[in-house]
Amino acid sequence: VYFTLRTNRKALPFVAEHVRTTDPKVTLRSGKLMARAFAASFEGKEREAVARSFTTATIATYWNKIQEGAAHRFRLPAFFAVQSTVELPDTALTLAKTMGEAACELDPLAASYLISVTYTAMLPDEMRSRLGAYYTPPPLAERLVAMATSAGVNWKTCRVLDPACGGGAFLSAVAAPIVNAAGYAPAAKTIAGIASRLK
């Protein structure tokens, strides 16, 4: 099965036969390669805008899909409407939708990481280098948090700063032991504690 991502410059052929597999991580990794090739047909600011629009489409699908069947649904934050500035071809939107649906099958940390690395893969290489847009894989962040725990970090009182938050891997990995240390505290108090100690 072949499909084409069309741009105003040229058409990019892709083999889409195995884009959607039973393994959501494989789907997202394969989709990342296709998205990167699609973005490579653009240059400079236009490529950056394509990356933002594609990622926004992926996140919108993920956001809506994870809320299916919920009694109360939350709208996608208005910030994302600003990010979608380029009209993508239907084939690119289909790929973004497939990736967003696959992300729903993963835990939120893995999903956010795989979506965010797709965005960085679509950026021009010089821009990615300049921004330092190389995100920490969740297993590495979790390992570092486990090492901090073993070293005696008191998750009930510690303050944590992530000065270069990209995909949020460290913030998510740190939030889990803070929640666990809170025990049976009311949810509002736990959330306030995280907000005041995790930056």
* Rounded Cα–Cα distance for residues 199 and 161 (Å): 5
Q: Which pLDDT score, from 0 to 100, does residue 11 have?
A: 46
Question: From the CB of residue 157, how many other CB atoms can be counted at a distance below 10 Å?
Answer: 10
Whether 89 contacts 5, CB under 8 Å: yes
180 C-beta neighbours (distance < 10 Å), count: 12
The band of 6, judged by pLDDT with boundaries at 50, 70 and 90, is very low
Of the two residues 6 and 30, the one the predictor is more confident about is: 30
pTM of the model: 0.73
Q: What's the average model confidence in pLDDT over 134-149? A: 89
Residue 198: band (very low, low, confident or very high) from pLDDT cuts 50, 70, 90: confident
CA angle 94/57/31 to nearest 5° reads 55
Pick from 172, 43, 164, 158: which is nearest to 107 by CA?
172
Top-confidence range, 12-26, 54-68, 182-196: 54-68
Choice between 9 and 89, residue whose per-residue pLDDT is larger: 89
| Residues 6 or more apart whose Cβ sits within 8 Å of residue 32 | 99, 114, 117, 118, 121
How many CB atoms neighbour CB 14 within 10 A? 18
Spatial distance between the Cα atoms of 85 and 71, rounded to a whole number of angstroms = 31
